[in-house]
Structure 1
Amino acid sequence: MHTDHRTSLHPDLSLTMSESGSGRPALVLHGGGGPATVAGLADHLARTHHVLAPTHPGWNGTGRPDWLTGIDDLAVAYLHHLRDLGLRDVVVVGSSLGGWTAAEMAVRDTAGTITDLVLIDAVGVRVKSEPIRDFFALDARGLAEYAWHDSARYYQDPANVPPAQRAAQEANAATMRVLAGDPYMHDPALLRRLRQVDVPALLLWGESDRIVTPAYGQAYANAFGDGRFHVIPEAGHLPHLEQPEATFALLDAHLARRTPAPV
């Protein structure tokens, strides 16, 4: 069963939440492209998990309070929400910006709510030798070339995008700039803090990602206390869209090898 509803996190912060499936709780966090980019991922997980997939505040026309100005604010809000719901043994899966949010949640999770992490082409850390591509400086053609393996298939000519859709994309990008624009797409302290995260962390990376390269992903994985890294061929920044079968197989294998958390 699949439901969409609004839920209140604070007096001035409510979330649009998509909920589906049953079983172990899984929080699925989208990147800058919005919730549609992780819909297939959420559907796959819902076969075996109770999936919660929020729309980040400020995306797709949703409200964002003035105080929510960073990914750390978003991470704390989601972590508190999981605790308010009384959820335990949670797997958090995040794509791109959502992966950064998941990592920020993990370093703040003193209650042991999160027991598994899956980061898919995540941003969020600074790797000196592998700078993050400036998303805001790319035009539509450049974004397709840097983000996708098959850029010809996924390129969207702005002239063919309906005005309402283009306005929504621009609004989403403006929200992303507020949350992640300065410092650009990273938390300067996050990389060194990841060593204290002792839950299993799976990092999946598209081989052709030129927004954050596989070398960046490997450094990210190495920073975790228990990080594992896998490259997915013929995929870019969103491997779960370009190569869903390969992505889901690695995800399923990772989740199947876990030791159940104590009740």
Structure 2
Amino acid sequence: MGGEASGQGAEGLLGLEGDGGEFAGRGAGAAADGAQGVPLGERGADGGQGGVEGPAGLDRIADLAGFYLDLLERRGLRDVLLVGSSLGGWIGAEMAVRDALRPAGAPALVGGLVLIDAVGIDVPGEPLVDVLGLDARGLAELSWHEPERFLVDPATLPAEELARRRGNFATMRALAGDPYMHDPGLRDRLREVRVPVLAVWGGSDRIATPAYGAAYARSFPDGRFTVVPGAGHLPHLERPAEVHALLDAELARHSRESGTGARRA
């Protein structure tokens, strides 16, 4: 994590990134300007993620969720709106579950959750496509609404960037390769989450389909689902203005409602 989550209390917004680029500094809108991104692909030898020094043994998504919750608590952040893309969405969902199960009287660290084409659950009839063995063209065909616009020939990449991308895939394989991109028990645990959840989905996502996303949203007691037309698995990159408008609206709603929702007795 390359720095602190922005703001305190209801104003905190933390972006949990998959292998798809930053929330901060992309597109337009207050949410984009204020978000602190957490890249998942850059794991240090000490077990940290994206520049955050952490203990060794962060080998599963659940481990990362626990680590980031502890980080929020140590930094005094409360009622944070989590925004997670792809694998980052899975981490955010696990964080929300764990926060909901903290002891009575403990302060709420997570105040809301936005999932952007997240993975992490098993939906019968909507299997996640295994991307780890695909070449660049195959991955682009599944990831983007306009594959030719975003396709990059690996032969044209500098060695440093190529190594970074390979490292990202190695991290994904280590964290989520078996079982592939999901925790078999997570979907049932999502019923424990009492904060508002918005699932934002690219209408052309062929890795985690919109039907998968709609089922994800229905798994939460207070889940909503919206589709971004003309976007694939990374709508915040393909349609940044539309996605950041949704994030701005959700952050405004979160700021208005913080402190009025369900809290631990």
Q: Shift of the alpha carbon at 1:26?
A: 1.1
Contact 2:23 2:32 in 1 (8 A): no
Residue correspondence of structure 1 range 182-261 to structure 2 within 5 A: 182-258=178-254, 259-261=257-259
Partner amino acid, structure 1, of 2:38: P
Q: State how far apart, in whole Å, the 1-side matches of 2:231 and 2:162 are.
A: 25
The TM-score with structure 1 as length reference comes to 0.85
Higher-strand-fraction structure: 1
Q: Shift of the alpha carbon at 1:60?
A: 6.7
Partner amino acid, structure 1, of 2:60: G
2:42 to 48, 55, 59: 59
Aligned residues: 245
The match for 1:3 is none
Contact 2:114 2:199 in 1 (8 A): yes
Q: State how far apart, in whole Å, the 1-side matches of 2:243 and 2:195 are.
A: 20
**Aligned-partner SS, 1:132:** coil
Q: Shift of the alpha carbon at 1:238?
A: 0.8
Contact 1:206 1:234 in 2 (8 A): yes
Partner amino acid, structure 1, of 2:258: P
Q: Deviations over 1:45-80 (max 9, x none)?
A: 45775x433333x61766426511100000000001
Q: State how far apart, in whole Å, the 2-side matches of 1:62 and 1:233 are.
A: 40
Contact 2:136 2:153 in 1 (8 A): yes
Contact 1:42 1:53 in 2 (8 A): no
Q: State how far apart, in whole Å, the 2-side matches of 1:104 and 1:254 are.
A: 20
Contact 1:27 1:91 in 2 (8 A): yes
Q: Shift of the alpha carbon at 1:186?
A: 0.4
**What is the aligned-residue identity percentage?**
53
1:163 to 149, 159, 163: 159
Q: Which consecutive unaligned segments of at least 5 residues does structure 2 have?
A: 48-54, 261-265
Q: Which consecutive unaligned segments of at least 5 residues does structure 1 have?
A: 1-14
Give the 3 Å change call, closer, same or farther, for CA 60–76 of structure 1 in structure 2.
closer
Partner amino acid, structure 2, of 1:260: S
Structure 1 runs of 4+ aligned residues shifted over 6 Å read none
Q: State how far apart, in whole Å, the 2-side matches of 1:221 and 1:233 are.
A: 18
The match for 1:25 is 12
Cα RMSD, aligned residues only = 2.3
